[in-house]
Amino acid sequence: MNATKNMAAGLAGAIVLNLLHEGAKKFYAKAPRVDRVGEEAISKSLKSINIDPPTGKTLFGITLATDLLSNAAFYSMVGSGKEENILWRGAGFGLAAGVGALTLTKPLGLNDEPVNKSVQTQILTVTWYLIGGLAAAVVARGISDKPKFQKLVNSLASF
């Protein structure tokens, strides 16, 4: 059950994070554009192995799916360890991911402007990853505290 709980919690954190990213970019010009960083990373990776990268909605869809999967895998680690520390772990993982989003783009050869264009953008980037980590922690704790929910998750996992 632990692995299933952790995966469900990680997916919840990733969904919350992506909803924040996708929703805010439509309404706020200084919103972080992690999607642009992801699209650049996918395009450069494919070009490095002589594959023409997709463009437009196809590239966006691949980027979104990749982002959800990678963030879900990362946030799934929040549920490991002592239950009483889970919120602190969620905050720690979220802060680490947010700071990483700000500081790793350039060393990875990517344009960091989409996440570093202003102080507000930087604050939102870190805050949203923090919220994703906390969402993963809350879901992991909720699953652990509810035997009926555990049964549901177990039955879904058996498919």
State the average pLDDT for the chain. 91
Q: Reply yes or no on whether the pLDDT at 156 is more than 80.
A: no
Q: How far is the C-alpha of 149 from the C-alpha of 139, rounded, in Å?
A: 11
Q: How far is the C-alpha of 96 from the C-alpha of 45, rounded, in Å?
A: 24
Give the pLDDT score at 147. Answer: 63
User: How far is C-alpha 46 from the geometric centre of its chain's CA atoms?
Assistant: 22
Sketch the domain layout of the chain as residue ranges: 2-157
Kindly indicate the confidence band of residue 143, based on its pLDDT and cuts at 50, 70 and 90. confident
Mean pLDDT of 60-69: 96
Give the pLDDT score at 95. Answer: 98
Is residue 72 classed exposed, middle or buried when 0-12, 13-18 and 19+ CB atoms within 10 A define those classes? buried
Kindly indicate the confidence band of residue 1, based on its pLDDT and cuts at 50, 70 and 90. very low
User: How far is C-alpha 139 from the geometric centre of its chain's CA atoms?
Assistant: 15
Q: Which of 93, 43, 47, 49 is nearest to 70 (CA)?
A: 93
Q: Reply yes or no on whether the pLDDT at 158 is more than 60.
A: yes
Mean pLDDT of 62-81: 94
pLDDT tens digit sequence for 15-64 = 999 999 999 999 999 999 999 999 999 999 999 999 999 999 999 999 99
